[in-house]
């Protein structure tokens, strides 16, 4: 897994600002925070989802911040680093971005759906059964896309340009804000 100076720098800014709320912050970059119980109330932060994309100029990378309570999303914000565009929303809060409201796709036929997926660093690529099950699942969709950022993938679902996000062995900070917005 790629860790960059940008991950740490963004973590200092984002988690630092959120710490002033008095609500615990669980951040990918702060391993001590991982002991925080996310079934209470907590900020869930991935300061740079898609670090590898960022380091190589490959594609989307997102700043991801979510407020969780009782094990469920309350509110999420995603900021795309390359475009400086921002999206936000949550259950009962209409999802929108800098350009206005966004909505999920109404398409429900798997053969006409786009699935966004990926292989997180924890995926057991040497486990033939796991790889077979994974491929069997994604093969049922019309198109498969790997963006290199779970947050960016969930944003595509929230905006309706993809219908499904599927990834195994992913961490909460990778998906928290995107789940809130979806």
**136-168: per-residue pLDDT in tens?**
999 999 999 999 999 999 999 999 999 999 998
The strand ranges marked E within 5-142 are: 25-27, 41-49, 62-69, 72-80, 85-90, 93-97, 100-101, 114-117
- CA-to-CA distance for 55 and 52, rounded, in angstroms? 5
Nearest to 49 by CA among 17, 90, 10: 10
Q: What is the mean pLDDT of residues 110-133?
A: 90
Residue-wise pLDDT for 14-48, tens only, equals 999 999 999 999 999 988 898 887 778 999 999 99
pTM for the predicted model, two decimal places: 0.92
- State the chain's mean pLDDT as an integer: 93
- What distances in angstroms separate CA 102 from CA 15, 62, 123, 161, one per listed residue? 27, 17, 31, 10
pLDDT of residue 28: 93
109 alpha carbon, distance to own chain's centre: 24
- CA-to-CA distance for 18 and 131, rounded, in angstroms? 38
- CA-to-CA distance for 22 and 36, rounded, in angstroms? 13
Q: What percent of the chain shows pLDDT beyond 70?
A: 98
pLDDT of residue 1: 62
- Cα dihedral angle (88, 90, 93, 99), rounded to 10 degrees? 20
- What distances in angstroms separate CA 127 from CA 13, 114, 130, 180, one per listed residue? 39, 26, 5, 32
Q: What is the mean pLDDT of residues 111-119?
A: 94
């Amino acid at each position: 897994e790629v860790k960059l100076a940008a991950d740490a720098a963004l973590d200092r800014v984002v988690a630092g600002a959120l710490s002033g709320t008095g609500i615990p912050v669980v951040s990918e970059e702060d391993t001590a925070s991982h002991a925080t119980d996310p079934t209470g109330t907590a900020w869930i932060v991935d300061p740079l989802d898609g670090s590898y994309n960022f380091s190589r100029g490959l594609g989307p990378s997102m700043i991801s911040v979510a407020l969780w309570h009782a094990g469920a999303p309350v509110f999420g914000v995603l900021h795309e680093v390359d475009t400086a565009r921002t999206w936000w929303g949550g259950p009962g809060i209409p999802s929108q971005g800098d350009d206005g409201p966004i909505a999920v796709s109404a398409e429900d036929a798997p053969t006409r759906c786009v699935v966004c997926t990926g292989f997180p660093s924890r995926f057991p690529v040497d486990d033939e059964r796991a790889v077979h099950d994974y491929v069997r699942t994604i093969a049922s969709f019309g198109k498969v896309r790997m963006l290199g950022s779970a947050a960016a993938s969930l944003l595509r679902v929230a905006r309706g340009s993809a219908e499904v996000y599927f990834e195994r062995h992913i961490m909460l900070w990778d998906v928290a804000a995107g789940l809130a917005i979806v």
